């Protein structure tokens, strides 16, 4: 019997105390670093501070350190993707690369049946070649491998997606003092605006949101022709200039609910063809969401108003 016991001990696996108390190796997300390949100077849509990754004829903006933080302001307001969060990315398709940008992927640090989604239905991307700006919606934070397919071409990269509710929240108790329309007189503004959307001050008539809140998706209503406004949202401001408001329109804006080094501006290249009097559509570019106070000047007239600007991502799942 003793011999059998000793034999059994000899064939048992040998363990040490270190084996019993060993700590599993922590997962490190293998994030993708930006690449040095750039589009030609004539085709480069990227801002100087944007970092990109290139593969198989496709460029996409990625974070320089591979880590992307999404806050509650990035939540997707679509019922099928309720609770998801979206980031905005700029793309460039090289010559010969043609097709809609279709996004998929998988989570690397834990099992998930969900996949990142292309932010818009393909038809909402408008063109199949060259420049594009879209979002990518994620169902959760984590280490995500993302693949974008364009026709027979594809690019794959990895990002460490962090979810937090700390960044970008307004000061506690702050209420945005939004401006409401104060006249039903369209005064030369387009008739389709209807009543209840016009604000009049100092010989300027503006079409503003009835409730003072403006909600748009930067990926759709941005300024794709100008990379300097990457991630900004563009508000089409309808303006009528009265007798004392002759001249080009200038708009500036400052954020009221928290400090910001950026200012809202109007893109004069859009409205310079409308002359110096009467109706003009103004391309108002807003760098972030928040409570914004805007000032518009034309000739000797000035008007000031406040809007609660909210950025959302309108994500349409691909069947």
The pLDDT tens digits along the chain (319 residues) read 545 444 444 444 444 444 444 545 678 999 999 998 988 877 787 877 789 999 999 999 999 999 999 887 777 765 567 778 888 888 999 999 999 999 999 999 999 989 998 766 767 677 899 988 888 989 999 999 999 999 999 999 999 999 876 444 444 557 889 898 888 788 888 776 655 588 999 999 999 888 888 877 665 555 555 667 777 777 788 999 998 898 889 999 998 888 777 888 887 665 667 888 899 988 888 888 888 999 999 988 999 999 988 876 543 333 3
Q: Is residue 183 part of a domain?
A: no
CA dist 230 and 131 (Å) reads 12
Contact 282, 239 (CB under 8 A): yes
How big is the CA angle at 180 (ends 174 and 185), to the nearest 5 degrees?
A: 170
Q: Is residue 307 part of a domain?
A: yes
Asked if 130 and 205 sit in the same domain, the reply is no
Q: Is residue 17 part of a domain?
A: no
Helices H / strands E in the chain, number of each = 3, 17
Burial code (b: 16+ CB inside 10 Å, e: under 16) for 122-138 equals eeebeeeebbbbbbbbb
Question: What local confidence, expressed as pLDDT, does residue 181 receive?
Answer: 87
Question: What local confidence, expressed as pLDDT, does residue 194 receive?
Answer: 53
How big is the CA angle at 54 (ends 51 and 57), to the nearest 5 degrees?
A: 140
Q: Is residue 195 part of a domain?
A: yes
Domain with 59, as residue range(s), is 52-163
CA dist 163 and 14 (Å) reads 43
**Number of folded domains in the chain?**
2
Question: What local confidence, expressed as pLDDT, does residue 211 receive?
Answer: 80
Q: What is the CATH number of the domain that holds 264?
A: 2.60.40.10
CA dist 201 and 305 (Å) reads 9
Burial of 319 (C-beta count, 10 Å sphere; 0-12/13-18/19+): exposed
Asked if 209 and 302 sit in the same domain, the reply is yes
Question: What local confidence, expressed as pLDDT, does residue 200 receive?
Answer: 92
Last residue of a domain, one of 126, 147, 163: 163
Question: What local confidence, expressed as pLDDT, does residue 318 receive?
Answer: 35
């Amino acid at each position: 019997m003793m011999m059998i016991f000793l034999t059994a001990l000899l064939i048992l696996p040998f363990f040490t105390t270190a084996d019993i108390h060993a700590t599993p190796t922590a997962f490190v997300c293998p994030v993708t670093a930006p690449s040095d390949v750039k589009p030609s100077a004539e085709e480069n849509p990227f801002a100087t501070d944007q970092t990109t990754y290139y593969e198989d004829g496709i460029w996409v903006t990625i974070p320089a350190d591979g880590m992307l933080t999404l806050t509650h302001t990035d939540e997707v307001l679509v019922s099928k993707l309720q609770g998801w969060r979206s980031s905005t990315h700029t793309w460039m398709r090289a010559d010969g690369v043609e097709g809609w940008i279709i996004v998929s992927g998988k989570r690397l640090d834990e099992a998930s049946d969900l996949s990142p989604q292309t932010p818009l239905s393909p038809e909402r991307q408008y063109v199949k070649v060259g420049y594009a700006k879209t979002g990518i919606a994620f169902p959760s934070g984590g280490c995500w491998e993302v693949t974008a397919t364009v026709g027979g071409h594809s690019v794959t990269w990895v990002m460490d997606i962090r979810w937090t509710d700390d960044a970008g929240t307004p000061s506690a108790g702050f209420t945005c003092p939004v401006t409401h329309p104060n006249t039903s007189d369209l005064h030369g503004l387009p008739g389709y605006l209807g009543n209840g959307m016009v604000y009049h001050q100092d010989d300027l008539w503006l079409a503003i949101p009835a409730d003072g809140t403006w909600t748009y998706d930067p990926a759709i209503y941005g300024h794709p022709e100008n990379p300097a406004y990457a991630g900004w949202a563009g508000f089409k401001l309808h303006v009528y200039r009265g007798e004392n408001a002759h001249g080009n329109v200038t708009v500036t804006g400052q954020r009221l609910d928290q400090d910001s080094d950026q200012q809202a501006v109007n893109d004069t290249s859009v409205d310079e063809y409308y002359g110096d009097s009467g109706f003009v559509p103004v391309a108002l570019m807003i760098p972030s969401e928040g409570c914004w106070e805007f000032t518009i000047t034309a000739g000797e007239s000035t008007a000031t108003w406040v809007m609660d600007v909210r950025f959302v991502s309108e994500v349409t799942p691909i069947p």
